[in-house]
Structure 1
């Protein structure tokens, strides 16, 4: 007698059929353009294009013939403010803009499996309403009138699933919007799709049994202008790093987080480690364009938000570097030694900054408390022992994704005493880490305005090989805002073929990281053309200052020192 299929198989098939039905037939790619392994969920999990190498699909939207020349221009020519201005000024109709981005999102999904919920029909209806309102009243609906955006699948959208890749949560549509969704729509933004997440929300590759791989690819393929994600271990910054995008992990309370489905017991974030929300975009300016509208309003819509400062984009501001702007270079977290190309890109950024008038670059010694952050963050993430999430997974017969196997196990929930001790350790670490922001020399001491450090101790790896999250989770533990700036692609000279690392091994995480560079265990050429990025960090609640630091560093890196724009 044949074994009965697990319950999740039929649910996944229904969900995939519903997803395909949301893509109009005229927007579908011919099979020969779709990478091998992306035609079915089962193939994608085992044979997806990124499992053993990389497939470049970025040119297909331009060459497949689905997008008209006007739609190609709409989806590629504008930044956030320019696109909104073109709609509010009558040059473009919101309906045409949204249709172009929906088509591009549909193409991106077929190539990368990046969507969970295409919202194309309702997005086009909203766009038409925006056009009608503008024509009738002569005024836009809001400062983000017609802006096409995407949100992580965790954000609840009324009438739509927030299944987070779990069959147990499929076909259970949300009854109301998350606060951020309401805020974005009140500003005139149009949510065109929800994007994929990793199984358990606790791995680094967006792969699950319901939707299979893909996430940050939507923005990288111009399928959305801005994507909103969440970050507890790096889920904004790591996709940005992998796709060569800009990411912004805000401080707690700056961007509404409530109204999400996380597959966890309700209220866990209030007692353990608090995730935060934030944007991914293709420029620092695009991040500023949306944050300038969200931060000042967040306290009015999110019960988890606090009053925030972000100057209005209508106020002209000089981008001149503040005098004596001090940038610290932090080379390691003391747990995992960065591989040579990561060390090299940090030094390149430092050299760019040293040539920038008004900027002083200093080396930040390893703070003794920093190596403690990764372990403590991990323990706080697992305060409930993982039972609720594993119940959802196992109840439908799902297996864990390969990276999670052997890493995620049931454990006892912490007692109040145990949790209190962890939070007391956190307080002590926070106190000790405050010293990192003062740089002392033999003659003086000065405040450090921003710190540049790695996002990860390795380049963009193949699926299932991402190693350590201490460089990202530490700044959630500390509640420091942190952003990502792409610098350049990985090139031939970065390979250093024939040269191995001779630094002392620091521990098991460090040993695993060496395997990503050891020529006996990896072909380093797999990293060629992948993006190399850096992380920028500022002190707690200094989110606007993070934007300013990112702008200064990005202009230095891109060779635009001295250039200004009229508006921040």
Structure 2
């Protein structure tokens, strides 16, 4: 039990930390209090969408720099000196500062060091006549978990505040070696184990599209900052959905790679060092505004990862755009075979999710890609292994007993935030025999899942029959704050080590809400399903809260096929955008 002194310790630390953070936002970048959204958010005030609000406080040049470029075109403009690294860094830092004031997305503004770094890159280009590296001047952000030398890696815990890192995480060093400019570190949830980014030190990160709904987690600050265009690309981490869920919540693209692709080490230790290698390993990956931005970024990072990190293996990446190469699928005539996987057997899909899956399936079926490959869509039955995997995943994630995390929380008397108060349990680390038993269960599930991707003929030969899966990110739309519950549709793919990505499709419209129409009767599948159903029960949730929030799908491929995932995501994104443009044109024609 904590003493009164320790119980108050976290409050003093948090106050100092917030004051330090505020001092690093230049006064000239402060926006008027009249522009700030109303808190606490309420349905009466509506969604309070602030995505475009930064434009009111930016110059036309800053708007152009932060909005008009892709990763590729920005790099070209920087290399050709059309833009200087300094003016680009200034523009993105300014926009990040405004985004933070509107959403509370940052933990560590790094504006001064970013501008100084940009000046050094400009000097290098002037002196040498060539860019410093292939990502020369690219303004990026990183999740607070990554060590940046001289900066706290507090992960929202008072215990870790005011203890600056003594060296960079390998990924940070790799990014700097490529020429990146790191503009900020971003907010996360307490314990990193929830899907709503709130902690006692920095507070809650708000969704810029709809303040009534969650911004996601645990890379919530990254999802928000990228959506607000305060960085052109962000780096998050993912073990239960922590890249893909914030991407879904904020209407951007998220990419969870396989293990050993992107350096992961050099982050805040939330458990005993080395423990993750006995259970399930999280991965680092990008959150971006397009599939193409992800492709350009990974093309430079993944092949160089082994130069910097002991936890990576050599992996090439195709030198050209995913959509520019011939897509050769596993169909009899090279068709791209995409399976629609609807339910994990643990949660009933809410109507908007069923609708968006139907729209994607119909749009993809029979479509010819730009490379000439035809898409074949087939409905998949829920594999028993997918249903069982969430339970095994949850047990493996808890093998350390949360001993270290519990110590860090209780040392300064911190309370648990509301979402964690009923879910966080500290115990004892599991014995080796129990861990081995769980890993054996995992292996069996992995073997069972092979039957989803391939088949064996009468002669015992196995061939690929499925190229990718499209499934929900969650069984529900972007939920209200504190409303996220089941993560089986994201965490299970980490158990199988399948690379997966989030692709936004469109926003929720009124027809999606089916107001006054209850969820079709059916057996409640369990406690996760019961909580999910509450998000559609009009006695519990006002469905109008979902209006305007993004609807996304998750794309999944087999282990190790990360570049293939990028290509398939690009195809699906292109088809759905084309469909949206066609529908918009039809509406205009009728008008």
Please tell me the TM-score bracket, short chain as reference: over 0.9
Aligned length: 550
Aligned to 2:282: 275
**TM-score of the superposed pair, with normalisation by structure 1:** 0.93
Contact 2:472 2:553 in 1 (8 A): yes
Match of 1:261, SS?
coil
CA distance, structure 2, for counterparts of residue 446 and residue 271 of structure 1: 31
Matching residue within 514, 517, 521 for 2:533 = 514
Q: Does 2:243 match 1:250?
A: no
Q: Residues of 2 paired with 1:451 and 1:30: CA distance?
A: 47
Mapped pair 1:176 → 2:167 = yes
The equivalent residue for 2:200 is 209
User: Helix, strand or coil for the counterpart of 1:186?
Assistant: helix
| Aligned-partner Cα distance in 2 for 1:425–1:196 | 34
- Say if 1:369 and 1:254 are closer, same or farther in 2 by CA, change over 3 A: same
Residue 473 of structure 2: which of 446, 455, 466 is its match? 455
Residue of 10, 13, 22 corresponding to 1:20: 22
Please point out which of 49, 53, 56 is paired with 1:56: 49
Candidates 519, 525, 528, aligned match of 2:544: 525
Matches within 5 A, 1:368-517: 368-438=384-454, 447-501=465-519, 502-517=521-536
Query: SS of 2:505's equivalent?
Result: strand
Distance in structure 1 (CA, Å) of the matches to 2:535 and 2:420 = 18
1:355: Cα distance to partner?
Answer: 4.0
Structure 2 residue 367 is the aligned partner of structure 1 residue 350: no
Q: How far, CA to CA, are the matches of 1:470 and 1:462 in structure 2?
A: 19
Contact 2:295 2:321 in 1 (8 A): no
| TM-score w.r.t. length of structure 2 | 0.90
Q: What's 1:537 paired with?
A: 556
Call closer, same or farther: CA 1:407–1:314 in 2, change over 3 Å. closer
Mapped to 1, the partners of 2:323 and 2:294 lie a distance apart of 17
Question: 8 Å contact 1:147–1:189 — kept in the other structure?
Answer: yes
Question: How far apart, in 2, do the equivalents of 1:115 and 1:53 lie?
Answer: 24
Which residue, 42, 50, 59 being the options, matches 1:68?
59
Contact 1:342 1:459 in 2 (8 A): yes
Give yes or no for contact 2:322–2:567 (8 Å, CA) kept in 1: no
Tell me, yes or no, if the aligned pair for 1:387 and 1:410 is still in contact at 8 Å: yes
Gaps of 5+ in 1: 38-46, 563-568
SS in 2 for 1:369: helix
SS in 1 for 2:419: coil
Mapped pair 1:113 → 2:120: no
Q: Distance in 1 between matches of 2:146 and 2:153?
A: 7
Superposed displacement of residue 468, structure 1 = 0.7
Identify which of 114, 118, 128 aligns with 1:127: 118
CA contact (8 A) 1:34 1:111 kept: yes
Unmatched 5+ residue regions in structure 2?
Answer: 206-220, 369-373, 582-591
CA–CA distance in structure 1, aligned partners of residues 579 and 181 of structure 2: 32
Q: Residues 384 and 412 of structure 1 are in contact (CA less than 8 Å); yes or no, is this contact kept in structure 2?
A: yes
Match of 1:140 in 2: 131
Contact 2:21-2:109 at 8 Å conserved across structures: yes
What is the distance in 1 between the residues matched to 2:158 and 2:38? 25
8 A contact 1:164–1:262 mirrored in 2: no
1:505-548 Cα shifts (integer Å, max 9, x gaps) = 11111111100001111000100000000000000010000001
Cα offset, 1:34, TM superposition? 1.6
Name the structure 1 match of 2:569: 550
Question: CA–CA distance in 1 between the matches of 2:274 and 2:46?
Answer: 40
What is the match of residue 149 of structure 1? 140
Asked whether the 8 Å contact 1:50–1:462 carries over to 2, the reply is: no
- Which is worse superposed, 158-167 or 26-35? 26-35
Q: Partners in 2 of 1:277 and 1:345 — Cα distance?
A: 28
